[in-house]
Amino acid sequence: MENEKNYFGASFVKAFNTAAADKDRGNVLEFVKSNEFVMWQSEYENACEACKTRNGRLYGINELDGVWPAHKNCKCKLVCAAAVKDNKFTINVLSNIKNQFIIGSENLAIRLLYDVKAYDNADMRLPVKKGRRYFKISANGKNYDYYVVSNDGLCFAAGNGNLYPVENTDVTRQLKAQKEKDFISSFRKETDIFMHNKMAPMAYTYLMKNIYDWYIADDAAQRTMIEQRLKAFEKTGYKSTGIPSYDDGIKNMPKTPDFISDEQHYFRNTLNIQYEWDDFEKLNKKLPAGYKWVKMSYIMSSMHQNTAELPEKPNKKFVSFDGKFELVYSYDNRLLDEETGSEDMGTYNYGSPLENGLIGTVNAWQNHLLKDMVTYRLYQNTKKDAQKKKNELMEDIKNDK
């Protein structure tokens, strides 16, 4: 059908609008954000011919290695696909199909697929994989025209001229939860490389920022793009992101220096990771145990109370599990940064006061003292703050005379 081709270039919102119209006609088509499929969206006016042909195609999230991005400086995006939510359909039909996301029987799958018509995926709108074949089976219900299943466990429902992936939401929710539990810990190799001072601080910042953004992301498309960016970054030996601001930082400081100059000290503000309160709350809620940001006591955040209304309204300081990144918020959850509170804002730590979310060793604190706290006393958080401190000191000397 021509409409089948057109649908996959449509937005997720359009799918929900279609569902509403179907309900008015007495049909029940409910949709959820797919956890297993994403849709390719080309920047069509400026896209190359190869990318234009991919516009609107569905891809399995585990089948994108080396596929997206298509080339250097590719502007194409992966967007959320709409999946059918129909528990009755899942139980009565998909229980007969051996599917990696649906509980089924191999014998029933063979019987179901016996002597059915092959489905022509010549336009490659459905995910393509070597050895994968699609079959078209009839639908007994009024909600769908027919179903398309593959020999390796994928399923799609055709209705109203569109094709929708079908997923068992209970199973995909469990898979998603397990992935959230394991994702950050899967980067232990990278963390170890950095802790042995064999990775540029800016490379580590890029890595951790993407990991944290992955947890904040709301759908499979956003997360898949982050995963692919991190895989591409690994292939460069953690030396090139394709983003000038990051790549310049990686080149100019290939490893953590033994002694911190004033310029390197101020560079901490660029190395730090920051989030507004709502995103931070979402992030810390989703991070697994052992990787959550740690809220510091009032005593351990005393150097960040210069602009606070004490004692009733102290600022709140959080430190990442590895002790490298800091976030400071006012009592009413405003992020303190160079614009809103440079004297108290969180900064990157060349020396880590925490190790695996716990208070670090004596050596760790000595390193933090020398590389971060002493330099703060010397240079303040910004050049503007340092000049302000200098002016105050000169004024005090003048008054003493």
Most confident of the following: 55-69, 125-139, 266-280, 349-363? 266-280
Tokens of 64: 């994108």
Percent of the chain with pLDDT over 70: 82
Which pLDDT does position 101 carry in this prediction?
A: 38
What are the boundaries of each domain within the chain?
A: 2-168, 175-390
For residues 9 and 286, give the distance between their C-alpha atoms in angstroms, rounded to a whole number.
Answer: 31
Closest CA to 8 of 79, 62, 71: 79
Most confident of the following: 34-43, 112-121, 170-179, 314-323? 314-323
Band (111; pLDDT cuts 50, 70, 90): low
Which pLDDT does position 5 carry in this prediction?
A: 31
Q: Give the count of alpha carbons within 13 A of 126, CB side only.
A: 25
pTM as predicted? 0.85
Band (116; pLDDT cuts 50, 70, 90): low
Under DSSP, the state recorded for 370 is I
Q: Is the pLDDT of residue 256 over 90?
A: yes
- Residue 98's alpha-carbon distances to 34, 79, 111, 165, 176, in angstroms, are 19, 27, 11, 15, 20
Band (314; pLDDT cuts 50, 70, 90): very high
Residue 359 CA, chain-centre distance (Å), reads 28
Q: Average pLDDT of the chain?
A: 83
Q: Are 353 and 317 spatial neighbours (Cβ–Cβ below 8 Å)?
A: no
- Reported as a single tens digit per residue, the pLDDT across 10-48 is 333 344 344 444 444 445 557 788 989 999 999 767 788
Q: Is the pLDDT of residue 142 over 80?
A: no
Tokens of 28: 């029940």
Q: Are 315 and 328 spatial neighbours (Cβ–Cβ below 8 Å)?
A: yes
